[in-house]
Amino acid sequence: MTPRHVRALRGTAAAWVATVVAATAHTLSGGGAPSPAFVAAVGILAAPFAVALVGRRLSAWRVGATVLASQGLFHVAFAVTADADPAALHGHHVTHLGGDLSAVVLPDSPMLAAHVLAAIATVAALYGGERMLRALGRGIRSLFSRARAIAPRPPMPRFAPAPAGPVVVAARIVLSDVSRRGPPVLV
């Protein structure tokens, strides 16, 4: 893989893992559960930004900054859209939902703790997971290089010595007039 492919894979994985972990942490800490389609949309929109933020080399700080930024953005997106209009569930009653948007967007302490723990878990999973995959790849590559070194060589063809005298080849064609070919005899 080229460095560009590795960077794209790292950023996309960071976006998707951070999205799913953020949605789970947001839901478990008391926020409304976002729909799977919304989680997919946020993951798709977050992937290019995560690719730009993660950088060329694996760095816990860059991955951590990417995940923390994405956790904040995901919280805002989930808080604004999850259960956005509870008055719509009451049929024809119209209710003015006045108030400050910062009350919805700013997390309370359980929500903040859940997002911070989710960010730590995401960074550990992404950073440790990539290091583990690289070590696994190096180990498999070294096993295959050893297997090639130990593999037996193909046998060399052996030639039979040439006969000392003239070779007599038996005739394979029978030269006779007797032919047993014909229709079968009826009994």
Q: List the single range of 29-33, 37-41, 59-63, 172-176 with lowest mean pLDDT.
A: 172-176
Alpha carbon of residue 54 to chain centroid: 17
Q: What is the overall mean pLDDT for the chain?
A: 74
pTM of the model: 0.56
Q: Is residue 176 in a domain?
A: no
Residue 68 burial (C-beta neighbours within 10 Å; 0-12, 13-18, 19+): middle
**Residue 53 CB partners (closer than 8 Å, separation 6+):** 11, 62, 65, 66, 69
For residue 91, name the pLDDT band (cuts at 50, 70, 90).
very low
Q: Is residue 8 in a domain?
A: yes
pLDDT digits (tens, 9 = 90+) for 56-77: 777 788 888 878 777 777 877 8
Closest CA to 50 of 29, 30, 73: 73
Q: And the tokens for 55? A: 């950088």
For residue 92, name the pLDDT band (cuts at 50, 70, 90).
very low
Q: Is residue 90 in a domain?
A: no
Q: Is residue 114 in a domain?
A: yes
pLDDT digits (tens, 9 = 90+) for 107-149: 667 777 877 788 888 888 888 887 888 888 898 888 887 766 6
C-alpha span between 26 and 32 (Å, rounded)? 7
Domain count, the chain: 1
Q: Is residue 7 in a domain?
A: yes
Domain that holds residue 35: 3-84+105-150
Q: Is residue 160 in a domain?
A: no
CB atoms within 10 A of CB 6: 16
Q: And the tokens for 125? A: 């999973």
Consecutive H or E run containing 105:
helix 102-105
pLDDT digits (tens, 9 = 90+) for 1-11: 788 888 888 88
What average pLDDT does this structure show over 39-57?
A: 83
Q: Is residue 187 in a domain?
A: no
C-alpha span between 21 and 118 (Å, rounded)? 6
C-alpha span between 98 and 104 (Å, rounded)? 12
Q: Is residue 175 in a domain?
A: no
Residues counted in the chain:
187
